[in-house]
Structure 1
């Protein structure tokens, strides 16, 4: 028996031929491609879902920012009114004190009997 013949197992019982091995490998690759296509489709659906969620979140953010700007404008208006009312109240307080001083000058002081 030739030493090179020892490594040749093509004639052994139950060993696949080269064509059977290539066919099996081809089927494995086809299955892997199908699975990768399925994973790719799922990933694309997930990405489209995330993009849709981002768009919704951006719209909600823009609406909230618009509402916040509107409320900030209202708050500024109320603060100005409060400031104006404070100035008016201080003016009235000074007027009251001035009138009390005049009234105290017009009314005689209490007389004490000893």
Structure 2
């Protein structure tokens, strides 16, 4: 037996031929391609869903900003009304104090003995 024949296992029972090995490798590659195709399809669907969610979130943000601007305008109006009422109140207090002082000058205070 020559030394080069020791490593030749092609004729052993149960050992695949080169053609069988290539076919097996081809099936493995086909399975991997199918799996990657499924993963790619799922990733595309996920990306499409995320794009839709992003669009919806943008629309909700725009609606919230519109609402915020409206409420901000209403708040400015209420603050202005509050400021005007505060000025009116101060004026009325001064007028009431002036009238009280005038009234105090007209009415004599009763003298009580304790």
Tell me the TM-score normalised to structure 1 length: 0.93
Tell me, which stretches of 5 or more residues in structure 2 are unaligned?
none
Q: Tell me, in whole angstroms, the C-alpha distance in 2 between the residues paired with 1:57 and 1:64.
A: 10
* Structure 1: 4+ residue segments shifted above 6 A: none
1:110 offset after TM fit, Å? 2.1
1:12 offset after TM fit, Å? 1.1
Equivalent residue pairs, number? 113
Which residue pairs with 2:95 in the alignment? 95
Give CA deviations for 1:11-53 in whole Å, capped at 9, x if unaligned. Answer: 1112111011001101110110011000000011011111111
Tell me the TM-score normalised to structure 2 length: 0.93
1:112 offset after TM fit, Å? 5.7
Tell me, which stretches of 5 or more residues in structure 1 are unaligned?
none
